[in-house]
Amino acid sequence: DQPPTLLEAIDTALLKALVRAEPENVLSFLQASNACRVQESERLLRDYDMFHELVALFHSHQEHRRALELLAEHGQGPQEEHPLHGVFPTVEYLQSLEEQHLPIVLEFSRWVLRADPELGLEIFTKSRMGRQMPIDSVLSHLRVFDEEATHDKS
């Protein structure tokens, strides 16, 4: 592991201070461009049960798979009072991704479509990708999903 750059050291120290002194400002700090060291920051955020903030950290560092795995874990988890429970946080995240992330959008849309088909469709109808979304890929994905869902019911 390489030593942190000055910017990484400053942003990570600032995150530590915010978590302890102004936790209400952590999310907006992480949603902006930041140079926090991901591994160290992840430990800190997990220690303080700041999972929404952890998703923002992963997003700001382009670690979409890790963010979506966390969202899926908590979204489908037994704790209904957890802030990441349910499909909505995952839907919002998937809608925010650009066209180059379509494979991961398709992959993580599956559990959402199973849990809430109507909201799951909004991943594709209200996405930032908009007109650039490859309709053929999405239709193929939805067709396969529909066939699997129909097969599971029989």
Same domain, 145 and 98: yes
Task: Note the pTM of the prediction, 2 decimals.
Answer: 0.87
Residues 102 and 142 in one domain: yes
Contact yes or no for 148/111 (Cβ under 8 A)? no
Q: How many domains does the chain have?
A: 2
Give 10-residue mean pLDDT values along the chain (154 residues).
91 98 98 97 98 98 98 90 90 92 94 94 80 76 75 63
In a domain, 79, yes or no: no
Classify residue 76: in a domain, yes or no. Answer: no
Task: List the domain range (segments joined by +) for residue 147.
Answer: 85-154
The pLDDT tens digits for 4-42 are 899 999 999 999 999 999 999 999 999 999 999 999 999
